[in-house]
Structure 1
């Protein structure tokens, strides 16, 4: 119950590969992130990653027009039909090969799938079609002689434009048409990138990879197309041998083969029917053909400087008639059709843009780059970013939680330090002062700054409030720093060297080097300060098989040495500061008492880190497991458990006293990564051995090969490509204990406690039931009802009881509670403050509870107080922005009303003066003249106000 952690979110990885999709309302963008799918809510500035997971990376996604169904296809052709309401996979379908593109029809009745050079049209399940069996094949087409690259539906969902890599575009009808046959368009000299129908028209625009745009005009209107009955299929006697183009595997259904055979016979039948068509048929009077209106070369002038620039992505908004084209140079251009006038251009990076898509209104354009994992949403009219997110371009090596749990700091091998908001899951600041890989990060206790160590020989301190690097610490001799730590007071920072075997101590305030601590005979792998305020104890672990205990306030480097019997990979202090956990190279975690330097217990965890076999490994997975070890460990908030991970996809939670495994988590099932399989498949073995050891040069990749260099484990150290290896670089518990974060190959995975489906009672007895709780509420026995709801530990029931209590009785009920129930009530209040609109009511509960029981020592746990502080801080930040906005709005309205009132007074004064003058010059018989004069003066007086109102 205590460790019912479930996958909550994915940070640090924004975009990997594939296409982007906007939701129908245009406020959210959906992006495939590895083998997961992330939804970015642009309106509320939040992101969430769906809990579902594929066995391989997703490459194509498509969203239904009503936004309820999502189809995602991975690299191996496994299609998942996902309900966006429940966020679950409701059906799986296996295609024979990978899928190039997938697209829903505008009416939501069909969706088309392009597989190699075949296009398959399926009936979409739902109320529109009345078909609830998913993936029911309706028709199939041969797209071209090469792979299909793009598909687009007409507005009436009758025609489908299919762009192919053989530079041709094919137009097919979903249903059989009496006056239409499959039509081919040619004229491009390179592969088709995209093609788009116009709104409520059959006019077509096609784009090729060399930047060529062709505008096509159709001779027919959509209303001229006449549907015909489906021609009868050829009798069994006429069946011919299936050509190679339509051959499938043995698992392919007979219906698919029938459709392929029928596709060849339908053409002959339609030609015979057309010969029999008499005069007067629409097909005769309105022949179907396309006329080329023009050919344009987009962004021709900038591309002359870079001759290898290619058009990589394009999208068209039919309502606004605006076309966006993106190039391999990192620039994109907006054109207005059909005049092809460039209205906007921007360069976002030096890397190719992989995907581009408009939202429904055409105001926002989402752009993504696969090379650097960047995703941005650009509003081209106001020229500002709606969202701009970029993850670490290489592995995320270290993470750290802020003391209140609101922020997570990450450091990567791309020499950047990023800060992430745990509530919105967005990165809000990036520090790029380091010039080499970041090895460790840590927050100060007061949350005002964080420090990071790097292999560039510097330790930097960053101000979290002003977002700047205000201190840079260096050593007298150049050194690569592998670890860093800050003491409890936030005045001292210490870093360990990787190549000089020394520890350096600096002062945060002055920036001066206070001491160089020597004693280790190998690289310093990890260091940690005591978390107790009254202690300045420092623990350091090294590859020289020793752990040393230092007192930083003493001189002459006085220390005590503990023999760990193996190389030390990580050390961690318990929250009480009395124990220290040491992870060693043999896969053990040793617990030592700090004061007596004696061993308390040993956790043998080598067998818990199950290891897989890499594709290029010669040894077996069982032999690999003998070299496993924990590279990162962390104590839980209560100090009873240890979180440990290493070169594996598993994360283990151990009980410290019992030295036993409590739970194991697998962070990923993505087989696109290397190291998950225990055995090499026989299909990868040949008479020459493992095919993964053979260099496979790809002609289109410029001679790149798919095999790693010997000894390379991280990043692309050369022109060679290889699959990343699954491993966990760092794990950290949140200060509240409600979640933990793991930085791995996939990114930063957040696991949180799932309280909704877990029944975890406290001191439960037979008479404690929900019915008895409701009866106590009915009799106004509020204390009894609250205690029973806390025993049942059901959040909905606790919320009901709390909100039934009158506000004047809160202080009396808090005084009647015992310390155990006061602790549990504080945890419930911290949870309710995050989502409930009754902020003042629950703040009164919290204030009375803390005032009544806060003077006793040990009543409230540190984690409960941190959770309450985190909830109140979030509410303060949110309400502070709203209050500031309302304050400035009211100020503008008041100033506006004062201006209007002054103008009205001035107008009334003008009217009074004119009336007085009229009374002085009035004569008998001038009544009509007086009325005309007064009406004219009123019009003149109302004129300025009406114009000002229009401007406002």
Structure 2
């Protein structure tokens, strides 16, 4: 098994904080997700999380006009210059202050940053050859409070800056003689947005008290006068507000319209103005957003997405799609206002994610969270396509049935529910005789038996999936049940408990436990190997032990305390090394071949261990986001005061957002009115059935890591004479079997594809018959990969059919070792079948219409031919009397043709 797993995507969280940004083409929207960025492709219905990670949460994002570069700023003022082509960080700059807004100029030559009460203008990176990509051009002062928003004129000659001091200031980006700075007042609240109107100096301003003002300038953009180079005269105070001492008319503004957009105590939180269509979109703290047409403030639409505050709005290039985001609910939607329909509507878990499970074919992932929601995500598109809200409390366990059509979940509300993925409904609810908080869940391989463990009753409840009737109550544990797992080979159930025991049950034969395994500390998690011949158990002392489930004999153990790493929270008063004694693994998962085990717990690290060697193979760090608690190993002396750490000092601001001291007992989510800093941890890890990816539910969301085979050179039994040239020579000599085996030994993806696709179809059957077993496995794995992306579907299906027909019994005997490959084949063939079925369904009615049309044309043609035949028959009798004259005319015509041919034969032609 290879360990070249890399971060692939982030699911479960669609928006957290910051501003939305449509790409210049208007087909994609960029959403900040913690310290990462997710791009939602609205045209192809896909999402991708960029492999760009900040040290803290990203608060603002801006794109260059060409869409090639992007600047992302974190909460602590660190700016990252990123390339959307290579998806990498090109440069970094630290402002050392919180940044409210960043925006590129329309010509792409500069960008402006609002910092404290100042505005900084930088040269845009990439436009000039500079060692430092962030080269400052100008600084503007004048605001009495923090600057909040910024906008450029259409020709990038001036900027307008809004501030919390209720004023908007217009600055000249260049040195103009008739424009230095002009202040626009009249508002009674902090400025939320200030915007220039297209091709003019007219300004639209909106404030958080829901009021908007329209300001008209007496000067056109073309009338701005650049000052001469080397001029030292500074403009004097304006006389009557019109002229400077040189007699130059200064730019003057006049408010021509003022409007109250909404009444009551509602506050405006965000605004965006589409200059081409004169559309103003505003968001409010009650979850509503308005669409107004300017300059008359005509209300077009008024909608509400939730009862929580709208954090950010944006509008695409054409003005058709509006993006709206809500951070408290983790909600993001794109609305097409003309057709009044949703282009995209996604919502993640707005609280901690607790569990996950892959579908048997690996196409879908189901997740459960503390918010009581069960969500099913498509791993290919990254979108959630169904959410079940029937549970009333946090989800503690989820599972798929064997056919992948049923999702079962257990919750702390005392119910176990089964959901149908075809009709999207809750078709079965399992309950206990008395209320019990269920902490774990397990389904037997056939999908007929459902088991759930109690957190407060220490019992295991067994139900029938078909009837929903309670079949058995298994007792014997003396502590809360922490985990359940069914064996895939026999009807054997293993249960783990805080009473330091693991019990093996035979659910169908006897009521009592068959075996009891005693351990030194509380048992937190367990799992069977895919073949059911081994049991892995995780305990409170950070050890993973391996047992034979039939004899209850320990076969090995792994010490994982040091692999979890050292970390401390801001409020901890002891060292990270001392705190590591309390860390442990709370989730385990075997790989598809059973050779490795994946473990995660109260740490930012995920570990992969080799079961045979009992050593650590690789460790993954899930995040470097310092906005999470438990990321630092050492105490930050800069946060120490004479009263102790800043995290332990209550600033006395009551329930303001700035207080970092959380209320006692609050450990999950923002359940109090005070600010809460989430702790980094891994709640659940699972390998994909195909073995090419694994997922982890973390504080950040659902992280997916996948293998990238294109970057790994991994030959098999390589020799000196096995080269691409020799393989192509063997293929040219039509020695197809040898060329195929040599290409697999070199293990170059493009070369294997070239060899296979040059083999004639008539020789496939013979080659499959004589292929050794080791190459059969490699060929199956290659075909599974190619079916996913290749256009030659029928060709590879012929290969697959020949392999399965001729080597079916052997493959069945080795099914456990080939489980990952077979799952991958099932997944990709099913996906291709669904895609082709959709195309056929779409074209079915067109083909029926064409068929009916062709039949109608044939009938019409036959009718016309019959009519013409009748007419010809009628005319024949009339023409019999004229035959003599016709014969004479035909003789004259033949004579004329003979004369013409003789003259042509005597003519000479020149051919150059």
Give 2:821's match in structure 1, choosing from 848, 852, 864: 864
Residue 276 of structure 1 deviates from its aligned partner by: 6.0
The equivalent residue for 1:949 is: none
Give 1:756's match in structure 2, choosing from 704, 710, 716: 710
The equivalent residue for 1:373 is: 330
Q: Matches of 2:236 and 2:285 in 1, distance apart? A: 44
The equivalent residue for 2:30 is: 30
The equivalent residue for 1:389 is: 346
Residue 717 of structure 1 deviates from its aligned partner by: 3.3
Q: Matches of 1:111 and 1:93 in 2, distance apart? A: 14
**CA 1:569 to 1:172, structure 2 compared with 1: closer, same or farther past 3 Å?**
same
**CA 1:49 to 1:800, structure 2 compared with 1: closer, same or farther past 3 Å?**
same
Q: Matches of 1:903 and 1:314 in 2, distance apart? A: 63
Question: Conserved in 2, the CA contact under 8 Å of 1:697 and 1:706?
Answer: no
The equivalent residue for 1:625 is: 580
Q: 1:645-675: per-residue Cα shift (whole Å, max 9, x none)? A: 1000001111112211111111001011000
Q: 1:396-428: per-residue Cα shift (whole Å, max 9, x none)? A: 000001111011000000000000000001100
Q: 1:579-621: per-residue Cα shift (whole Å, max 9, x none)? A: 1111111111111101111111111111111131100111111
Q: Matches of 2:243 and 2:68 in 1, distance apart? A: 42
Question: Conserved in 2, the CA contact under 8 Å of 1:527 and 1:539?
Answer: yes
The equivalent residue for 1:584 is: 539
The equivalent residue for 2:899 is: none
Q: Matches of 1:442 and 1:320 in 2, distance apart? A: 49
Residue 900 of structure 1 deviates from its aligned partner by: 11
**CA 1:210 to 1:453, structure 2 compared with 1: closer, same or farther past 3 Å?**
same
The equivalent residue for 2:108 is: 108
Give 1:516's match in structure 2, choosing from 467, 473, 487: 473
Residue 269 of structure 1 deviates from its aligned partner by: 11
The equivalent residue for 2:260 is: 297
Paired residues in the alignment total: 861
| Mapping of residues 107-146 of structure 1, within 5 Å | 107-126=107-126, 133-142=132-141, 144-146=143-145
Q: 1:315-360: per-residue Cα shift (whole Å, max 9, x none)? A: 1111211111111010111111111111111111000000000000
Question: Conserved in 2, the CA contact under 8 Å of 1:231 and 1:269?
Answer: no
**CA 1:783 to 1:229, structure 2 compared with 1: closer, same or farther past 3 Å?**
farther
Question: Conserved in 2, the CA contact under 8 Å of 1:231 and 1:266?
Answer: no
Question: Conserved in 2, the CA contact under 8 Å of 1:819 and 1:859?
Answer: no
Question: Conserved in 2, the CA contact under 8 Å of 1:119 and 1:140?
Answer: yes
> Is 550-559 or 603-612 further displaced after alignment?
550-559
The equivalent residue for 2:201 is: 202
Question: Conserved in 2, the CA contact under 8 Å of 1:148 and 1:165?
Answer: yes
Q: Which runs of 5+ in 2 are unaligned?
A: 865-912
Q: Matches of 2:18 and 2:125 in 1, distance apart? A: 24
Q: Determine helix, strand or coil for the equivalent of 2:632.
A: coil
TM-score under structure 2 length normalisation:
0.91
Q: Matches of 1:898 and 1:120 in 2, distance apart? A: 73
Q: 1:274-330: per-residue Cα shift (whole Å, max 9, x none)? A: 75646xxxx44xx42112111000023xxx3xx2x1011111111211111111010
The equivalent residue for 2:394 is: 437
Question: Conserved in 2, the CA contact under 8 Å of 1:125 and 1:132?
Answer: no
**CA 1:703 to 1:882, structure 2 compared with 1: closer, same or farther past 3 Å?**
closer
Question: Conserved in 2, the CA contact under 8 Å of 1:611 and 1:628?
Answer: no
> Is 706-715 or 635-644 further displaced after alignment?
706-715
Residue 887 of structure 1 deviates from its aligned partner by: 2.2
Q: 1:520-572: per-residue Cα shift (whole Å, max 9, x none)? A: 1111110111112xx11000011111110000002332422111121100010
Question: Conserved in 2, the CA contact under 8 Å of 1:786 and 1:802?
Answer: yes
Q: Matches of 1:874 and 1:269 in 2, distance apart? A: 73
The equivalent residue for 1:176 is: 175
Q: Matches of 2:7 and 2:558 in 1, distance apart? A: 26
Residue 52 of structure 1 deviates from its aligned partner by: 1.8
Question: Conserved in 2, the CA contact under 8 Å of 1:215 and 1:292?
Answer: yes
Q: 1:621-666: per-residue Cα shift (whole Å, max 9, x none)? A: 1111001111000111111111011000001111112211111111
Residue 267 of structure 1 deviates from its aligned partner by: 5.7
Q: Matches of 1:206 and 1:275 in 2, distance apart? A: 27
Q: Matches of 1:135 and 1:268 in 2, distance apart? A: 34
> Is 224-233 or 752-761 further displaced after alignment?
224-233
The equivalent residue for 2:896 is: none
| Mapping of residues 882-897 of structure 1, within 5 Å | 882-891=839-848
Give 1:563's match in structure 2, choosing from 518, 525, 530: 518
The equivalent residue for 2:362 is: 405
Q: Give yes or no for the alignment of 1:855 onto 2:809.
A: yes
| Mapping of residues 519-668 of structure 1, within 5 Å | 519-532=476-489, 535-668=490-623
Residue 854 of structure 1 deviates from its aligned partner by: 2.0
Q: 1:109-151: per-residue Cα shift (whole Å, max 9, x none)? A: 1111111111111111335x67685111111111511111111
| Mapping of residues 235-246 of structure 1, within 5 Å | none
Q: Determine helix, strand or coil for the equivalent of 1:16.
A: coil
Question: Conserved in 1, the CA contact under 8 Å of 2:546 and 2:557?
Answer: yes
Question: Conserved in 2, the CA contact under 8 Å of 1:697 and 1:703?
Answer: no
Q: Determine helix, strand or coil for the equivalent of 1:692.
A: helix
Question: Conserved in 2, the CA contact under 8 Å of 1:611 and 1:675?
Answer: no
**CA 1:449 to 1:292, structure 2 compared with 1: closer, same or farther past 3 Å?**
same
The equivalent residue for 1:912 is: none
> Is 797-806 or 722-731 further displaced after alignment?
797-806
Residue 879 of structure 1 deviates from its aligned partner by: 1.9
Q: Matches of 2:728 and 2:64 in 1, distance apart? A: 45
> Is 852-861 or 800-809 further displaced after alignment?
852-861
**CA 1:133 to 1:690, structure 2 compared with 1: closer, same or farther past 3 Å?**
closer
Question: Conserved in 2, the CA contact under 8 Å of 1:148 and 1:164?
Answer: yes
Question: Conserved in 2, the CA contact under 8 Å of 1:726 and 1:744?
Answer: yes
Q: Which runs of 5+ in 1 are unaligned?
A: 234-264, 908-952
> Is 701-710 or 839-848 further displaced after alignment?
701-710
> Is 663-672 or 557-566 further displaced after alignment?
557-566
The equivalent residue for 1:248 is: none
> Is 889-898 or 878-887 further displaced after alignment?
889-898
Question: Conserved in 2, the CA contact under 8 Å of 1:853 and 1:859?
Answer: no
Q: Matches of 2:84 and 2:292 in 1, distance apart? A: 33
Residue 872 of structure 1 deviates from its aligned partner by: 1.0
Question: Conserved in 1, the CA contact under 8 Å of 2:453 and 2:483?
Answer: yes
Q: Matches of 2:439 and 2:89 in 1, distance apart? A: 43
Q: Determine helix, strand or coil for the equivalent of 1:849.
A: helix
The equivalent residue for 2:89 is: 89
| Mapping of residues 673-688 of structure 1, within 5 Å | 673-688=628-643
Q: Matches of 1:344 and 1:710 in 2, distance apart? A: 44
Residue 703 of structure 1 deviates from its aligned partner by: 7.6
**CA 1:556 to 1:661, structure 2 compared with 1: closer, same or farther past 3 Å?**
same
Give 1:489's match in structure 2, choosing from 446, 460, 464: 446
TM-score under structure 1 length normalisation:
0.87
Q: Determine helix, strand or coil for the equivalent of 2:582.
A: coil
The equivalent residue for 2:867 is: none
The equivalent residue for 2:774 is: 820
Q: Matches of 2:814 and 2:415 in 1, distance apart? A: 43
Q: Give yes or no for the alignment of 1:791 onto 2:769.
A: no
